[in-house]
Structure 1
Amino acid sequence: MKYETLTYALDDGVALITLNRPDKMNALTTQMRAEIDVAVTHAGKQARVVVLTGAGRAFCSGQDLGDRANAANLDLERTLRDEYTPMLTAIIDCPVPTIAAVNGAAAGAGANLALACDVVIASESAYFLQAFTRIGLIPDAGGTYVMPRTMGMAKAMGAALFADKISARQADAWGLIWEAVADDDFDTQWRARAAHLAHGPTQAFAAAKRVIRASWANDLEKQLETEASEQGACGQSRDFREGVLAFVEKRKPDFEGR
């Protein structure tokens, strides 16, 4: 597929999806949401890890309020249901690990696009901003679901009501993201993290994603049952056998992702 609002590259198991509207700080349009959906779905079938990042100085500044596709008849409920939900679901349900490499501003729906990924790595100069109340709206794109579960109710409520910038370092300290990295080391770090996942036990990663996400709805008994079921399946994989053999032979495992 030819993309107009993003670029797609596949190298050594890593699918790199770069939002590519730098003049608009990679603001989300109807077309971009559709292209992200398609790109992530495609990447999940051919890659072993997916990285989402932004071109230029921003990761994503949120909804493009000047998007002509929505401007004539602005229906936010329809837009969220028909455009945001499929895009976010593609990321959340992606069968391989997803990384948001947040290179700059992540605001509004752009912040929550990043938070939909399994791992968020941000440059030290990046920030997260739930800007919605500045224009009379509420956080959407899954923000009200993810934030209380990652950084707690108090921080989530403050982020929503005050619409203050949250620096990458704050986000790291509060548990909102995986790590904040010095700007000079950012590119090297996220690429190293992506390479680690791309050469890891892909089936185990997929199972870990399912089990951890299921825990939000399960009681302890159900979660232990889920763990047992998924671990049983992992124990039948070639990667498990390779991992054990490599441990015994005191060498680095050569995982094939199966």
Structure 2
Amino acid sequence: SNSQVGIIFHMMDAMESPPTYFRTNRFTNAFQEIVDAYGVARYQEANPAVYTVITFPFLFAVMFGDWGHGICLLLGALVLIARESKLGSQKLGSFMEMLFGGRYVLLLMSLFSIYCGLIYNEFFSVPYHIFGGSAYKCRDDTCSDAHSVGLIKYRDPYPFGVDPSWRGSRSELPFLNSLKMKMSILLGVAQMNLGILLSYFNARFSGNSLDIRHQFVPQIIFLNSLFGYLSLLIVIKWCTGSQADLYHVMIYMFLSP
């Protein structure tokens, strides 16, 4: 340090790209590991784990929304979080170590599952009149013609979530399964489009026009020509009340002469 000779820096060119480092904490570490399991972003690329913090647990809740199961999952996650200092210093088994590492993932999954379960009005697959009574009722006290004629609407729509009267009806499974499946498709296609858009911004940042022309453009066209078109049909069917079978529409789009 007392030398009179100045320090000489010699810049060396290397073929390897700089390593990638993402600063994480206890909350975001598990989400970053989920993303890294599919691929590590290159140096200065956008980190998709930022979006995964919300999209991953929310898509889980859309597919498995039940506020009864969500409460059980929430209690388990809170126990792991409350005892994290003790459990973190112990040697856990492979299963418990996986649960403990994803405790904050479980926390968000449980919260979103409770929210979507309230929308689906499912408490261990049983509907409840949480926000008031149903908007529909039987034509008489016996409800003998409920399956043949249907119910009558006598009040405003159910204020939040699915009306409890759907339970036990002939169209219960077609309606609820269709609702969950179509919501999963819409949100899943939106998430895939977000991932492809991130690849475009990464390619534009690095000045890689080849990836934009031969990777981003074909991917965005292929995705939206099939599943984007399906998402558009779902929205149109919801808005117009059409009875078209979207399965046959997609199949005949490829198989019809």
More strand per residue: 1 or 2?
A: 1
More helix per residue: 1 or 2?
A: 2
TM bucket normalised to smaller: under 0.3
Larger radius of gyration: 2
TM-score by length of 2: 0.27
TM-score by length of 1: 0.27
